[in-house]
Structures are given as C-alpha cells and as structure tokens.
Amino acid sequence: QVQLVESGGGLVQAGGSLRLSCVASGRAFSRYTMGWFRQAPGKEREFVAAFSWTGGSTYYADSVKGRFTISRDNAKNTVDLQMNSLTPEDTAVYYCAAKPLGLGDLKANYIIWGQGTQVTVSS
C-alpha cells in the first residue's frame, strides 16, 4: 500500500511561486496515476493536475493550465507541483492523491490521499 506525504506549502504573495512535493512510500508508486487536488474553505475539493502512470501524459484543470506544472520521478517516488503566477484564488489545502489506471479528474477514483499542505496567497 502506498502512503503519501506532501510538503512545500506556505504563504506567498500574489504573482509568486511555490513548489509542492509529494513523497510516496511503498513499492507500487510507479503503477499509479498521481494527481493534485485542492480544497478552499467552504468549497468542494477540486482537481488540479495529474500525471499518468504510463509516463509522459499530463492533465490540468483549466484554472491552472499554463501556470502550474506537474512532474514525477519514479526513481525517487515523488510527484511535484510547480505553481507560478499565484493568485489569492489559489489559496487552499493541496492534496496529493493516487489512482489506478489512467488520467482522470474525478476525486472518487483516487484511492490514496495525503494529509494535505496549506497554500496561502496574499493579495
């Protein structure tokens, strides 16, 4: 069973950048599509980005396309989220998650979740 731990959150000014990291423990990391979700106060958890287990394919929410970049390193069991041009609307708890099979944005299909890391963007 894979376990996920996120890090890298913090407080940043609008227009700034942050890089989130997710480290996975367990042997089967490379078999999972990895995703990032976020949840702002009072809102539903929403999809941000995903990186397929087959390698190379990525998928982004429209709200972050062109600003965020997801990457993964199967040798290190890590998946990162580089976030640029941040706005206050990006403020949320960010979660790393894993799912079997291919790319997808439905949180119900992600079966393993990290504990989350807070990102706060000030105006």
At 101-114, the pLDDT tens digits run: 889 999 999 999 99
At 21-79, the pLDDT tens digits run: 999 998 788 889 999 999 999 999 999 999 998 868 999 999 999 999 999 999 999 99
pLDDT value at residue 111: 95
pLDDT value at residue 40: 97
Length of the chain: 123
Query: pLDDT-derived band of residue 15, with 50, 70 and 90 as boundaries?
Result: very high
pLDDT value at residue 101: 86
pLDDT value at residue 29: 83
Both tokens of residue 30? 């490379």
pLDDT value at residue 7: 97
Contacts of range 104-109, beta carbons closer than 8 Å, 24 or more positions apart: 104/33, 104/35, 104/50, 104/59, 105/35, 105/47, 105/50, 105/59, 105/61, 106/47, 107/37, 107/45, 107/47
Please determine, for residue 2, whether its predicted confidence score (pLDDT) is greater than 90.
Answer: no
Please determine, for residue 1, whether its predicted confidence score (pLDDT) is greater than 90.
Answer: no
pLDDT value at residue 109: 95
Using only C-alpha atoms, what is the Rg of the chain? 13
